[in-house]
Each structure stands twice: as structure tokens, then as C-alpha cells.
Amino acid sequence: MKAWRFHAFGDLRLDDVPEPTAAAGHVLVEPICVQPSVTEAQLAQGIPTLAYDRVKRRLETEAPLQLFGHEFCARVLEVGPGVTRVKPGDRVAARAKLPCGQCPLCLSERSTLCRKGPVIGFDLPGCFAERALIPEIALTLVDERISDSEAACLQSLSDSVAAVETAGLQVADTVVIFGQGSMGLECLQIARISGAGRIITVDVRDEALAVSRELGADHALNANAGDVVAAIRDLTEGNGADVVFECAGGSPKQGLAGNRSLLNALDAVRSGGKVIGVSWFGGPLEVNIDYLRERSLRYLFPDISTLGHLEHTVRLVASGRVRLKPTITHVLSGIGAVPRAFEITAQKGKYKAINPAQVMMRG
Ligand SMILES: [Zn+2]
């Protein structure tokens, strides 16, 4: 079969590789629609971010290597022994980070806390290939009301569901979301249906702000148009927001906000409020801890998304409570378009992309 393999950072080739066969507890699938995550698109070029050291070590010792491809919609071709939840012909999507099933946490039914299990696309081959072998525990069935394109976004959406759950919203909380890329827009919609009162969103791209308004933001502010923290304080009677989601940080070379959005988030939240750190920064940051301490701030990071979160995303999208179509800006055709999807996703600002670029694998 054909599979995209990394021979080094920035060296992606469509190679012939042996086709996997269905093993116990595993499902052989044909990827229908796949998108690189922003993290994957940056790692593909060797830009330091989440998991950079691990990927670098694997490339140095194991290349050529099938990497990435955990955000997908696929068709089940064959199931291995013991698989009960899916059958050939089903459409499926997956969560990425899996429990190991063997550590004390997993054995005491706290597998959601396990950090020892494999990650699809990082430890296991993902879906930038004609076939992929996926553990059954990763998979959920896709409702027929959800398109292939939308289904490829469910993994990312499940991470956003986990982020909003981590925030523990109270009914009528004022919420600010920095960054209106795909995860920021997802957090907006999930916060809306999870009890948020007023929602204020921030970005520097007018096209993203327009989508944000369409998807329910009460105020969508352009951070380049003035003092955004002052504007948020004006809108919240001088208090600041109850909860702030920081979804914009990261390398400015890729059009992300550096650490400015985090510093703004810490200023825009009220005393005792919560900042939810969704972004990855790719390196250490200097933060004035005394400022957080003095204001009793909670700086929290999202839990890993579980199968329960993923199944919830299916209900949210199938019922129309979360809309993904307005965020899907680039859909490419054929397995040959995969490198182009990485390029667009790594430079979303330049290409005016909101969601990562998708590839319909059969063209
Ligand atoms: Zn475990």
C-alpha cells in the first residue's frame, strides 16, 4: 500500500509499505478524510512544540517512519479477534491518546489519568496512508448525519470538550477565548451550550472573527485594534472574565501569538478566576507567579479526552449543537495532496485557513 513516511524533518515521501493485517483488539481501516493537527504540521518541519524531542529521537533512530494522522474519518475494512464495537463498513473516528491498560491507574479504573499508553500517529502509524491499523478502544462510530469532513474534526473537538469540562463552568459565567482557530471556535460553541453567559472572543484575523460571530460570540475583538484587556475589562464592569481560554499561543513564525495571548489572558481574568491553557508554546515561558498568587488565579490545563468525550462530540455535531462546517476552509483531493495540507496547516494565517487543511484520501 502507499503511505507517507518521514525520512527526516521536512522530508516526506509517498512510499510503498506492507499492508497491516487485523490483529486482536485492532481494526483495519481505510482512511476517508484526514487532516494534520497544527502540532503535527509544525513537527513535520522540525519546529519545536509538543513531543518534539520524542519525534526527533524516533526519526534519528527509525526513519523512514510513518508519523502523524490521528485526526481522521475512516471506513472499517476488517476487525481482529475480540473486536465487538465496530464491524466492516462502519464509519469511525478516533481519540489519539490511549491508556496502556496495564499500569496501576488503568487497573484501578482511572485509565483517564494514564500517560503510559500509545498515541496514534506518534507511537502507532496513523492515517496518512491507504490503510491503518487502529486499536478498537480508540474508535467511535460516526453518526450518518455527520459528513466525512466533519468527522475528521471529532478528535480535536473531543480535546475541546475536555478543555471546557476542565473549566468547570458555572451557569452565566463570562467567558473570554483568545484565539479563534479551530479549537478556539470549538471551545466557544461548547462553552455556549455548557452554560456560559456572555462570551467574548479575541483574534487578529478578521475572517476568524467573522466566523466567531456567526458561531455565537457576543463580542469578537481584534487584538490589533487596541488594548484588548482594557476592552474586556470595560465589558465586565472592570472585573475581568470568570473563565479565559488561551488558544492562541505559540511560535509567531507560524502566525501564532507567542506568549502575548497568555499574558493578556492572565490580565483579562478576574481575581480567583480560571485560565485554561489550551495552547502549546514549544519552550519555557517566563510568568510572574507572584501576580497569579496575589490574585488567587487558577491556571489549569485540560485533561486528556476520553472515549466518553469523543462519543459526546458525535452527539454534539449530529444534533447541530456544534457546527463545524463554517470552520472547514480547505479540502484537498487525493493522497498526493498530503504535503500541501501540512504546508497550509503550518501557515494557517498566510492561507486564511481556520481548521487544518483536510485531504479526501481517494480524491
Ligand atoms: Zn495505564
Q: Count the neighbouring beta carbons within 10 Å of the beta carbon of residue 286.
A: 7
Same domain, 146 and 65: yes
Supply the pLDDT for residue 210. 96
Measured in angstroms, how far is the CA atom of residue 58 from the centroid of ligand 1? 22
Ligand 1 centroid to residue 315 C-alpha, Å: 27
Last residue of a domain, one of 259, 282, 300: 300
What grid cell was written down for 112? 483517564
Bridge-partner residues for 119, per DSSP? 97
Of 281, 300, 319, which residue constitutes the final position of a domain? 300
Residue 208: enclosing H or E segment and its boundaries? helix 206-214
Structural domain including 134 reads 2-153+328-360
The CATH number of whichever domain residue 243 belongs to comes to 3.40.50.720
CA of 283 relative to ligand 1 center, distance in Å: 27
The strand pairing partners of 97, in sequence order, are 119
> Mean pLDDT, consecutive 10-residue segments, the chain of 363 residues?
97 97 97 96 92 95 97 98 98 96 93 93 97 98 98 97 97 97 96 97 95 97 96 97 95 83 96 96 89 97 94 98 96 98 94 95 91
Q: Per the domain annotation, does 235 fall within a domain?
A: yes
Instruction: Find the 46 Cα to ligand 1 centroid distance in Å.
Output: 29
- Between the CA of 82 and the centroid of ligand 1 the distance, in Å, is 20
**Ligand 1 centroid vs 312 CA: distance in angstroms?**
23
Q: Give residue 101 CA to ligand 1 midpoint distance, Å.
A: 5
CA dihedral 231, 233, 237, 238 (to 10 degrees): -140
What's the burial of 327, exposed, middle or buried (CB within 10 Å: 0-12/13-18/19+)? buried
Tell me, in angstroms, the distance from the centre of ligand 1 to residue 138's CA: 14
Query: Do 130 and 146 sit in the same domain of this protein?
Result: yes
Ligand 1 centroid to residue 137 C-alpha, Å: 13
> Which pLDDT does position 257 carry in this prediction?
84
Query: Which residues neighbour 311 within 8 Å (Cβ) at sequence distance 6 or greater?
Result: 140
Query: Which residues neighbour 14 within 8 Å (Cβ) at sequence distance 6 or greater?
Result: 2, 3, 4, 335, 336, 338
Are 138 and 310 spatial neighbours (Cβ–Cβ below 8 Å)? no
Residues 169 and 149 in one domain: no
Same domain (yes/no): 102, 163: no
Residue tagged 460516526 (cell numbers): 142
The alpha carbon of residue 11 and the mean position of all alpha carbons in its chain are separated, in whole angstroms, by 24
Instruction: Say if CB 212 and CB 187 are below 8 A apart.
Output: no
Give the distance, in angstroms, between the CA of residue 103 and the centroid of all CA atoms in the same chain. Answer: 26
Centroid of ligand 1 to alpha carbon of 119 (angstroms): 12
85 and 109 together in one domain = yes
Domain count, the chain: 2
pLDDT at 223: 96
H-type alpha helices, 247-286:
260-268
Q: How far is the CA of 20 from the centre of ligand 1 (A)?
A: 25
Query: In angstroms, what is the span from residue 321 Cα to ligand 1's centroid?
Result: 33
Which runs of E-coded beta strand occur in the chain? 2-8, 11-16, 26-35, 71-79, 91-94, 132-135, 139-141, 175-178, 199-203, 219-222, 241-246, 269-277, 298-300, 331-333, 358-360
